[in-house]
Chains A and B, each alone.
Chain A
């Protein structure tokens, strides 16, 4: 079973700053199977990035994903007020098929 670890647990930043969120897997993960989601209070998660680096439809280009193997990163180049939220990474395991989410990183206003 692959376990995902996200760091930091909380990131306190100001609007306009750059946010760098980490997702580390306990075993190598195919990049095709790595996704990132944003969740705001009272809302369902929203897909931001799939395939480790492909932006989902309608996602602003200030969001970018990178990484491979066991280390993946979500970067928000310049934080907008609406970006303060919790971010989850997700991986897919194929044998047997299953989805796993990381514990999340909360980005809050400094």
Chain B
């Protein structure tokens, strides 16, 4: 059973780079899913998709964050990561990693496996 776990600093200073890692267990990141993604949720607000990396290595980002986001995969560690540069207080949120592990046909797009989330606060 595929499981995801986010890790990284809980406090980041304004203008610095937020770096988070999602560790995949119960399966190989190279073959268990078509795409892996990051989603965030500011306090008291809704869900915001940050970006995804596909099995091909292609990455796609939310246009509102694109200039500051990098998502990458480390197959040797069975992890994928998020970097968000030049953070401000508006980047304070719970950050989730998620993926699609279900067996539905490839043309269905959803996320059925989520990490528990990690809270990141941007403050000096």
Contact = CB atoms under 8 A, between A and B. Distances in A.
Interface in A85-101: 88, 90, 92, 96-101
A28 to B, nearest CB: 16
Given A50-B102, A51-B104, A96-B60, A104 B46 contact: yes
B62 interface: yes
Interface stretch (B8-16, B18-26, B47-55, B84-92): B47-55
Interface residues of B, number: 25
Interface in A26-78: 32-33, 35, 37, 39, 43-47, 50-51, 54, 56-57
Given A32-B107, A45-B47, A98 B62 contact: yes
A37 B46 CA distance: 12
Chain A contact-residue range equals 20 to 34
B117 to A, nearest CB: 5
Given A44-B96, A50-B102, A56-B102, A98 B108 contact: no
7 contacts: A32-B107, A32-B109, A45-B114, A51-B104, A92-B109, A101-B39, A101-B46
Interface of B: 37, 39, 46-49, 52, 54, 60, 62-63, 96, 98, 102, 104, 107-112, 114-117
